[in-house]
Amino acid sequence: MSKLFRVLIVFLMALSLPMTSAFAHNNYGKDYDRHHGKDTLVALGDSAPFGYSPHRNNDRPAKYAFPYLIGAKADLKVQNLAVPGWKTDDLLDALDTDKRFRHAVKKADYVILNIGGIDFIELLKAAHAESRGDNKLFHKLLAQKLANTDVFDNLNEIIKEIRSLTDAPIVLYNLYNPFQVKDPFHQVVDRYLPQINEGYKKLADSNKKVKLANADKAFGDNQAKYVFPKDVHPTKAGHVRLAKIGLRALKHEYSHHHHHHHH
């Protein structure tokens, strides 16, 4: 088994940790509600909006996770429903059948959607395993798998499902390259990421009140600062960066969504 593949398996294990309590315990003490606007931001997705870190006990979302940073800045109550290890079909199922998720989204004034990273890392892993070290075959298989993936259908269904519950603005995050620059997988991901993120852009463009937050552009090749080494998750600096682009995407909607807010 190649070293590369072993590293990848460690990544995937980190990403697909068991589901933990999805509801955030609020992080601002007892007078949280008094200081915060009554509008609600609901975060949906995987371990990134959850704030998963290899250096902490991940039994609940991290205080520094970017949805909370956005909430603090924009005066919103945050319900963080992100679950580590989730792929697009997990979220779609939850929105279809889980009363808690449906209820939260129904009441949401703003929605953050950050999912799909694990789906694509699993394609990468499968192509790598099947190619058995044959580089040309690896790229061929990966291109095939990307062409046949149902991630974008799932994402489209997720957006439809959210829309059936609320007309709240949605901020859709695209994917950043999770591999450090010196990691051989960094180049591989760089090669396919534009095509993948084009899919995210299309979703944002073709749906009303869906704004793209460009995580790929925000992180660029600065993984050393924004992503934990030997791990795919954002560092605290990464969360600050993700909050910044999320806020920018919200601001556009925010200004004409609620006029009664004075900041």
* CA pair distance 246, 252, nearest whole angstrom: 11
Domain membership of residue 47 as a residue range: 3-257
The string of DSSP letters for 136-185 reads HHHHHHHHHHHHH--HHHHHHHHHHHHHHH----EEEE-----S-TTSHH
pTM: 0.84
Q: Note the pLDDT of residue 20.
A: 39
Q: Residue 246 falls within a domain, yes or no?
A: yes
Contact between 225 and 45 (Cβ < 8 Å): no
Q: Residue 170 falls within a domain, yes or no?
A: yes
CATH code, domain with 25 = 3.40.50.1110
User: pLDDT tens digits, residue range 45-95?
Assistant: 999 999 999 999 999 999 999 999 999 999 999 999 999 999 999 999 999
Q: Residue 113 falls within a domain, yes or no?
A: yes
Q: What is the mean pLDDT of each run of 10 residues along the chain (263 residues)?
A: 53 47 38 58 97 93 97 95 97 97 97 97 94 94 95 97 97 97 93 96 96 97 96 96 96 59 44
Q: Note the pLDDT of residue 17.
A: 45
Q: Note the pLDDT of residue 4.
A: 55
Contact between 125 and 9 (Cβ < 8 Å): yes
Give the tokens for residue 169: 């603005």
Q: Residue 138 falls within a domain, yes or no?
A: yes
For the chain, what is the domain count?
Answer: 1
Longest CA span, the chain: 60
Q: Residue 263 falls within a domain, yes or no?
A: no
